[in-house]
Structure 1
Amino acid sequence: MPQWQDYSTGERIKILRGREMRQADLAQITGLTVATIQNAEQNKRHSLPTLLAIADAFGVDLSVLLGQQAPRRAMSQDDRRMVRNLSRAVHDTAAGILPGDVEAAALADLQAATGRCWDLYWRGRYAEAGTVIASFLTAAAARLHEQPVGEQAPALGVLSDAYRLAAYVANLMGARDLAYSAIGHAQLAAERAADGMRVALVGSGRAWVYLRDARLPEALTLAEKSASDIEPRFSRATPEELTAYGSHVNFAAVVASRMGDKDRAADFLSQSHATGARMGREVKAHGTLFGPVTATTQAVGVKVALGQTGAALALIDSIRDVSGLTEAARNRYAMDKAMAHADAKQWDASLDTLEQTLRSAPDWARHQAMPGVIVQKVGRASTARLRRVSELIGVPPGVHEYLPATRKTAL
């Protein structure tokens, strides 16, 4: 299979343009002529200003057009543009660079905006969340700039939340460098605010970046520390404190399962279930949701990762109602459920769940790798349903990796 650098510059432009954008559309976006676009795609002429304009239209770095780095998978042109704008907001605000017309919003308004951003994120609307977060970051930075010395802690807390949100969106989009940068700024703001809870939340967020970057031992160490730093006294813990702690130990179980450490994963799951039982219901706090249903559904994913298919199926049979979960959490559970059925060679059940999720949450699925993995597992079941699901994913088995982004809908 050819690598990205094996294509010519013109071929790379054509691939990025995709099937749904005409040369005339690209010309209109860039301000170039159709003839210029045609020449670029045919490798006849493409000057540096032309390539810069095309790269900006696609929302990618010039190095992508030149073949020095591959485009991020599963990202549409709008996704790339959002990531670039989010990156500018993160780096500019961290450097103290603010637009001249930005207004410092009231703290109460910013705190309410934090909740709306988390709502978009947990509904799986990552591109929209990233767009809102870029503006939110700028407003939060302006608020901090206006705060009197000695009264900056609340503004720093909001700014830490904004950077953590930016890191989460970047991590899902595969923009790892941006995720590392944003989570670092979130940590600095939380430490300046002297907010122990936020420091632990940021630590758990950094562990997630490590996990996606395959730095498993470091992810586990940090996840364990973050959980122990906020471990509450259960006799007088608030629901919000239990939510944060339960989420932390759940994530630690996930990391341990990815490392194949069954004992540590089981220990964390035990703490997670105990916390959920203590709460008795799902609670939203600190940008997350946790409770007994969350503990059980996420345990399914842990069991699947450990190869404990029977235990995963038993948990699935015990789960009756997931309506209290966020949309993203419900979708993730559906993927774990489909994977468990695939591991048990229950092909029809696996494909039923996968197809339903892909149809009901296409935007969320675009940024997930599991649908493609599940299709590969059930690939031997050559059925009409398998072909339908493969088409929904956008990259059926055997189709070239570097199809236009508009076709790659769920890797």
Structure 2
Amino acid sequence: MAQWSDYTTGERIKILRGKERQTDLAERTGLSVVTIQKAEQDRALSLPTLMKIADALNTDTSVILGQQAPRRSIGGRDRAMMRALSRVVHDTAAGLVTADEESTLQELEEVTGRCWGLYWKGHYTEAGALAAPLVASAAALVHAAPVGAQAPALGVLSDAYRIAGYVANLTGARDLAYAAIGHAQTVAERACDDVRGALVASGRAWVYLRDARLPEALNLAEKAAVDIEPRFSTATPEQLTVYGSHVNFAAVVASRMGDKGRAADYLSQSHAAGARMGREHRAHGTLFGPVTATTQAVGISVALGQAGKALALADSIHDVSALTEAARNRYAMDKALAQADAKMWDASLDTLEGVLRDSPEWGRHQALPGVIVEKVGKASTARLRRVSELIGVRSGAESFAPATARTAL
């Protein structure tokens, strides 16, 4: 029996479409019938097109690209982590508070920091495994705190729910992601914490983005940014970090929608915040500064179809050591995509292979490597096959080969 990854991208779309007509799928996606036909003929897919098709077929982009089977075949360790995380998120939200031992606020803040550290290294399974007891302990601390003195504990609980939502979103557990982000919002409101409230709103916008709900994602991202916009003359590094990350994300969403004007406007604000800060700064589980603003601009330029501009920006970036590991990886992936768009096939595959070998745990949760391989297409090289093996899909050369040739490969 053929494995899911044995099919081409076009074949997987056909299978997921089932008996539905191409015209019906085109109508639900807002794409043309010709675009659907080209997708099923294994023509190169743009990321926005891929996301629209995935949304219409009620699946994840990684499923269409063959990185995951339709029922999301994740490893046993991942499944155990997600099961434990799901139980504690739903149980604590229902008021079922249990913790193995009492923890102090300072201890839980330290654990929160470790969770974010794992998350930004791309160690999502480990971050989720640590987030589960963190949620339970934070809920217990809130329950034990006197009425009127619960705000600090509520802040930690909101952060814990947000981490759970982020991990769930990246691993394709969309229902849990929505639930965790919703609980984080409720808790932040109870704490009367505007900064955390804005962070949660931005997190929900990210869930929308992964779920291909682009207009809603942009509206929410814009509102979150406006709600916390500081006065630059008096803003603290913490305020600028949170604000800068928000306008950056708004620019990302606008670029995915093809709105160059709004993307440029938010990028301008992002660069202004980064310039004001002078260096990267951490706050509330996020990192922002001038390097973040510039590297994000590379990905935004790629999404807008401006590969030349993206590569010019990349050439101006000489040191990304201040970024988190995940941010460095994402920047390299955006650079690889820009190189692919510019038909710099070997350079693109070199960049992509470097990221996947250095950070395999991070890479296996990303859809972009499959998009890049699809763009490289028929380039029949040993490098293309190596990269394809790293992400668990067939290379373009193999996808377009006759059946007999595929067997030989």
Q: TM-score range by the shorter chain?
A: 0.7 to 0.9
CA contact (8 A) 2:301 2:307 kept: yes
Instruction: Kindly report which structure 2 residues correspond to 1:395-406, keeping only aligned pairs within 5 A, or say none.
Output: 395-397=393-395
Distance, in Å, in 2 between the alignment partners of 1:358 and 1:257 is 25
CA contact (8 A) 2:385 2:395 kept: no
Distance, in Å, in 2 between the alignment partners of 1:160 and 1:313 is 38
Distance, in Å, in 1 between the alignment partners of 2:143 and 2:230 is 34
TM-superposed CA distance for 1:104, in Å, is: 2.6
Q: What secondary structure sits across from 2:127 in the alignment?
A: helix
TM-superposed CA distance for 1:345, in Å, is: 0.2
Distance, in Å, in 1 between the alignment partners of 2:225 and 2:87 is 32
Q: 1:230 pairs with 220, 223, 228, which one?
A: 228
Structure-1 residue corresponding to 2:72: 72
Structure-1 residue corresponding to 2:113: 115
Structure-1 residue corresponding to 2:62: none
Q: Return the letter of the residue paired with 2:108.
A: L
Distance, in Å, in 2 between the alignment partners of 1:139 and 1:347 is 50
TM-superposed CA distance for 1:103, in Å, is: 2.2
TM-superposed CA distance for 1:138, in Å, is: 0.5
Q: 1:339 pairs with 332, 337, 340, which one?
A: 337
Q: Return the letter of the residue paired with 2:78.
A: D
Which segments of 5 or more consecutive residues in structure 1 lack a partner in the other structure?
5-68, 401-411
Q: Return the letter of the residue paired with 2:120.
A: W
Q: Note the alpha carbon deviations across 1:275-323, whole angstroms, 9 max, x for none.
A: 1011110001111000000000000000000001111011011000000
- Indicate whether 1:252 and 2:266 are aligned: no
CA contact (8 A) 1:210 1:219 kept: yes
Distance, in Å, in 1 between the alignment partners of 2:122 and 2:323 is 12
CA contact (8 A) 2:115 2:131 kept: yes
Q: Return the letter of the residue paired with 1:119.
A: G
Distance, in Å, in 1 between the alignment partners of 2:209 and 2:328 is 21
Structure-2 residue corresponding to 1:64: none
Q: Return the letter of the residue paired with 1:128.
A: E
Q: Note the alpha carbon deviations across 1:336-367, whole angstroms, 9 max, x for none.
A: 00000000000111000001111000000010
TM-superposed CA distance for 1:151, in Å, is: 0.4
Q: Note the alpha carbon deviations across 1:76-130, whole angstroms, 9 max, x for none.
A: 221122111110010011111133x632311111111111110010010000000
Distance, in Å, in 2 between the alignment partners of 1:70 and 1:321 is 39
CA contact (8 A) 2:271 2:290 kept: yes
CA contact (8 A) 1:341 1:347 kept: yes
Larger Rg: 1
Distance, in Å, in 1 between the alignment partners of 2:354 and 2:382 is 15
Distance, in Å, in 2 between the alignment partners of 1:310 and 1:122 is 29
Q: What secondary structure sits across from 1:289 in the alignment?
A: strand
Q: Which 4+ runs in 1 deviate beyond 4 A?
A: 1-4
Q: What secondary structure sits across from 1:86 in the alignment?
A: helix
Q: Return the letter of the residue paired with 2:358.
A: S
Which segments of 5 or more consecutive residues in structure 2 lack a partner in the other structure?
5-68, 400-409
Structure-1 residue corresponding to 2:97: 98
Q: Note the alpha carbon deviations across 1:127-174, whole angstroms, 9 max, x for none.
A: 000000001100101101100111011111110000000000000001
- Indicate whether 1:304 and 2:302 are aligned: yes
CA contact (8 A) 1:104 1:140 kept: no
CA contact (8 A) 2:81 2:129 kept: yes
Identity of aligned residues (%): 74
Structure-1 residue corresponding to 2:270: 272
Instruction: Kindly report which structure 2 residues correspond to 1:6-155, keeping only aligned pairs within 5 A, or say none.
Output: 70-72=70-72, 75-99=74-98, 102-155=100-153
Distance, in Å, in 1 between the alignment partners of 2:97 and 2:188 is 21
TM-superposed CA distance for 1:72, in Å, is: 1.6
Distance, in Å, in 2 between the alignment partners of 1:230 and 1:330 is 26
Distance, in Å, in 2 between the alignment partners of 1:167 and 1:151 is 26
TM-superposed CA distance for 1:397, in Å, is: 3.7
CA RMSD of aligned residues (A): 1.7
- Indicate whether 1:172 and 2:173 are aligned: no
Instruction: Kindly report which structure 2 residues correspond to 1:189-228, keeping only aligned pairs within 5 A, or say none.
Output: 189-228=187-226
CA contact (8 A) 1:379 1:386 kept: no
Instruction: Kindly report which structure 2 residues correspond to 1:319-398, keeping only aligned pairs within 5 A, or say none.
Output: 319-397=317-395
Q: Note the alpha carbon deviations across 1:195-239, whole angstroms, 9 max, x for none.
A: 011100100000000101111111000000000111010001110
Structure-2 residue corresponding to 1:12: none
TM-superposed CA distance for 1:394, in Å, is: 1.5
TM-superposed CA distance for 1:2, in Å, is: 8.2
TM-score by length of 1: 0.79
Distance, in Å, in 2 between the alignment partners of 1:390 and 1:198 is 40
Q: What secondary structure sits across from 1:104 in the alignment?
A: coil
Structure-1 residue corresponding to 2:43: none
Q: What secondary structure sits across from 1:278 in the alignment?
A: helix
CA contact (8 A) 2:384 2:395 kept: no
- Indicate whether 1:182 and 2:180 are aligned: yes
Q: 1:160 pairs with 150, 158, 174, which one?
A: 158
Distance, in Å, in 2 between the alignment partners of 1:213 and 1:176 is 8
Q: What secondary structure sits across from 2:148 in the alignment?
A: coil
CA contact (8 A) 1:103 1:142 kept: no
Structure-2 residue corresponding to 1:290: 288
Structure-2 residue corresponding to 1:24: none
Distance, in Å, in 1 between the alignment partners of 2:342 and 2:285 is 35
Distance, in Å, in 2 between the alignment partners of 1:87 and 1:245 is 30
Q: Return the letter of the residue paired with 2:185.
A: Q
Distance, in Å, in 2 between the alignment partners of 1:246 and 1:98 is 36
Structure-2 residue corresponding to 1:314: 312
Distance, in Å, in 2 between the alignment partners of 1:272 and 1:72 is 36
Distance, in Å, in 2 between the alignment partners of 1:292 and 1:369 is 27
Q: Return the letter of the residue paired with 2:289.
A: G
Q: Return the letter of the residue paired with 1:150.
A: G
TM-score by length of 2: 0.79
Distance, in Å, in 2 between the alignment partners of 1:129 and 1:170 is 11
